[in-house]
Structure 1
Amino acid sequence: MESAPYQESLHLNQDLEESPIDRLGRSEFRRGPEQVARRLLGQRLVRIQGGQRVAGIIVETEAYLGYEDRAAHTFGWRRTERTSTMFMDGGTAYIYLNYGIHHLLNVVVGEVEVPQAVLIRAVEPTEGLETMRARRPRAKRDRDLCSGPGKVGAAFAVTRDQDALDLVTSEELFIERLRVRALPARDIVVCPRIGVDYAGEWAKKPLRYYVKGNPNVSVRDRAAEQP
């Protein structure tokens, strides 16, 4: 069975915007990583391949603050062939292979030469579910199709071939605006990132954001969800 509609799973019927659908613009990606990480929640990630469109609502993100952030690939202004994409303009796709297995999709944010990014950790699938199921045959439920960054990469057929794509102008990978304003703070859980224990004190910083109550989130932080 398909996942529940986005507005039902979020219980935000009254807050959904009714503006014409378009894409997030360059200026929206040129903001700081924490602001963009929040802004992306509730927007729609779209991938078009061979005329097939798959899409879903972004429900979980992580912010990476660049040269000062020990969990960021560009900590200490590290610049390699892989991380050079992070020095590009806000709105660029930064895709890397994690553990030699999973392709992870990030969005470069901020200005050129300011190497910061936002990781898209989880998506609520809404379009092209049959295609996603074929790409993720091990997913037992639709809520598991995109409930983690590696799963997002597989379900959306994202690889290093899409690295450095401009999400503002690309016709194969982009983000559609469903909300004019960011989700209200009451609907966002803010907590530490996952899998960055090596980053010392930075591992504890609250730089992961997810939609409270959404079943497609990768891992819930029950302590952070408490009032």
Structure 2
Amino acid sequence: MMMHVHLHHRLPRDFYLQTTERVAEVLLGCLLVRVLADGRILSGRISETEAYTGEWDTACHTSSGKTARNRVMYGPGGLVYVYFVYGLHNMLNVVTEGEEKGCAVLIRGVIPEEGTETMIMNRGGKMPLTDGPARLTQAFQITRKHNGLDLVTSQDMFITPGYREASSAVIRTPRIGIDYAAEKDKKALLRFVLRTGSD
């Protein structure tokens, strides 16, 4: 039953076509839903994002133009861009804006809701569970095979409107781990963190 509710309420294409900065902020509180091959559902409320704003952003994967690795980022908003770092970790990004823009939002953390036992198993019992982009993809079984998936039409993964507590606040900070970027981009307040009343 629950699954149909989720599918029916997924975020539409127009949501992802907004400016990257806007999408990064309004994704906070939305629900990332992953349907496993056996039908089990994993979900979590998005709690941390970073905006990567295209070829002019030296922290962005498209800053040196289109490549085989980043070509999904030039597709329409709503596609999933998964890249592999340090030979170890998958990172989940949501492509934003129109085609050929080369922008995306990195999902850095979620607050688990459904399927926590499976997430714990996927993480080998390690904590924190989904706080951090590499932990999140491990917990949700998100890999490079999801690169190019369309969140608007896919049965395997999608995002639905969520909620924010009245007492929650959005905190903006510089992005993490972008020492290679130009000073202006290192300082840009493009990381968005959901602080809930319970924090």
TM-score (norm 2): 0.90
Establish whether residue 75 from structure 1 lines up as the match of residue 63 from structure 2.
yes
**What SS class does the counterpart of residue 209 from structure 1 fall into?**
strand
Query: Is contact 2:42-2:114 (8 Å) kept?
Result: yes
Looking at structure 1, the residues matched to 105 and 88 of structure 2 have their Cα atoms a distance apart, in angstroms, of: 20
Looking at structure 1, the residues matched to 182 and 109 of structure 2 have their Cα atoms a distance apart, in angstroms, of: 25
Q: 1:123 is aligned with what amino acid? A: V
Looking at structure 2, the residues matched to 26 and 184 of structure 1 have their Cα atoms a distance apart, in angstroms, of: 27
Looking at structure 1, the residues matched to 26 and 90 of structure 2 have their Cα atoms a distance apart, in angstroms, of: 23
1:200 to partner: Cα distance:
2.3
Shift in CA distance, 150/189, structure 1 to aligned 2, threshold 3 Å: same
Q: How many residues align?
A: 191
1:138 to partner: Cα distance:
4.5
Looking at structure 1, the residues matched to 186 and 11 of structure 2 have their Cα atoms a distance apart, in angstroms, of: 29
Kindly provide the CA deviation profile for residues 88-114 of structure 1, in whole angstroms up to 9, marking residues without a partner as x: 000000000011111000000000111
Looking at structure 1, the residues matched to 189 and 56 of structure 2 have their Cα atoms a distance apart, in angstroms, of: 15
**1:103 maps to what in 2?**
90
Looking at structure 2, the residues matched to 57 and 213 of structure 1 have their Cα atoms a distance apart, in angstroms, of: 11
Q: Which has the higher helix share?
A: 1
- Please list, as runs of the form range in 1=range in 2, the aligned pairs for 1:35-54 lying within 5 A after superposition: 35-50=22-37, 51-54=39-42
Looking at structure 2, the residues matched to 46 and 164 of structure 1 have their Cα atoms a distance apart, in angstroms, of: 16
- Please list, as runs of the form range in 1=range in 2, the aligned pairs for 1:1-227 lying within 5 A after superposition: 22-50=9-37, 51-76=39-64, 78-140=65-127, 144-179=128-163, 187-201=169-183, 202-213=185-196
1:194 to partner: Cα distance:
0.3
Identity %: 42
1:186 to partner: Cα distance:
6.9
Query: Is contact 2:167-2:197 (8 Å) kept?
Result: no
1:178 to partner: Cα distance:
2.1
Looking at structure 2, the residues matched to 168 and 23 of structure 1 have their Cα atoms a distance apart, in angstroms, of: 7
Instruction: Point out 4+ residue stretches in structure 1 off by more than 3 angstroms.
Output: 182-186, 213-216
1:184 to partner: Cα distance:
8.3
Shift in CA distance, 213/71, structure 1 to aligned 2, threshold 3 Å: same
Kindly provide the CA deviation profile for residues 44-99 of structure 1, in whole angstroms up to 9, marking residues without a partner as x: 001111211100000000000110000000014x1111100000000000000011
Query: Is contact 1:39-1:183 (8 Å) kept?
Result: no
Which residues of structure 2 form unaligned runs of 5+? 1-7
